[in-house]
Structure 1
Amino acid sequence: MKLFTAATLGLLLSAGGASAEAHATGDAEKGENVFRKCKACHAVIDNDDEAIQKGGKTGPNLYGLFDRKAGSVEGFRYGASLVEAGEKGLVWTEADFVGYVADPRKFLQTYLEDTKAKSKMGFKLKDAEDATDLWAYLVSVGPEVGATAKE
């Protein structure tokens, strides 16, 4: 049985990189509509500086968010708690993204085990389905898994 499992795993790994969409459970089309709530602060700009979604600049570019270290977009001034979370290993996955957008301050306080942790993002997207749809959208317009997004 162990040999079968190892062989199967080897075949899956040699089959090539998985698509980023495999890391999203929501509906990307619905998520594109949810992004309207985010546009006041965030944009999605690809590595060629082409706007996938025009938006504000008070929040960081959300292109390539999947598996990106939290607080790491070069040139963006993050709050200290989000930078600390990234330094402690927080990389954006669907579960962490959904938890963060539901209540950024509470998420950081829990992640950092620090009741004084703060977030510069005051917006809360409490509907978990909207959050998973938004995640699916952001993953779908990001780079392929394994490709590097401009930080």
Structure 2
Amino acid sequence: MRLELSSEGRYGLRALVYLAWHDEGTLITADTISREARIPRRLLARILAKLSHGGIVTSREGRRGGSRLARPPEEITLADAVNAIEGPFEMTRCIMEERACGEGRPCALHDAWEEGQEAILGYLASQTLADFISDPTNLQTSDSPTKPQ
């Protein structure tokens, strides 16, 4: 089994790591983020809007516009980011029966599934953007952007 983020979720985390690398308080244009973090420009505006709505980035439109982190990287968790982009994680359909979760008595797998979900969310809540930018070698892949010196 694989738990996966949507494209927006993956690109959103990539944008946040990029912004955290460049966290000097200056605004970075969407064109720059798109080009340097390899995020399709057509998706980036929607992603940044979600992150802004979630209080994770601040953005300004116009000639001197751009985006930056709304809080220090140490205060932004992966759970914050994923919830802002993907929406809250929740079990919506019963595993054992053809009904919405929460309608009627919980099924036999409900508690186990809920505990697993809570464990994943707890782990994401314990990880901040700062954890991933402190050692840039952790982020390097053959096609990843490099942090400017």
Task: Give TM-score, length-normalised by structure 1.
Answer: 0.29
Larger Cα Rg: Structure 1 or Structure 2?
Answer: 2
Structure 1 or 2: more helix by fraction? 2
TM-score by length of 2: 0.29
Q: Which has the higher contact order (CA 8 A, sep 6+)?
A: 1
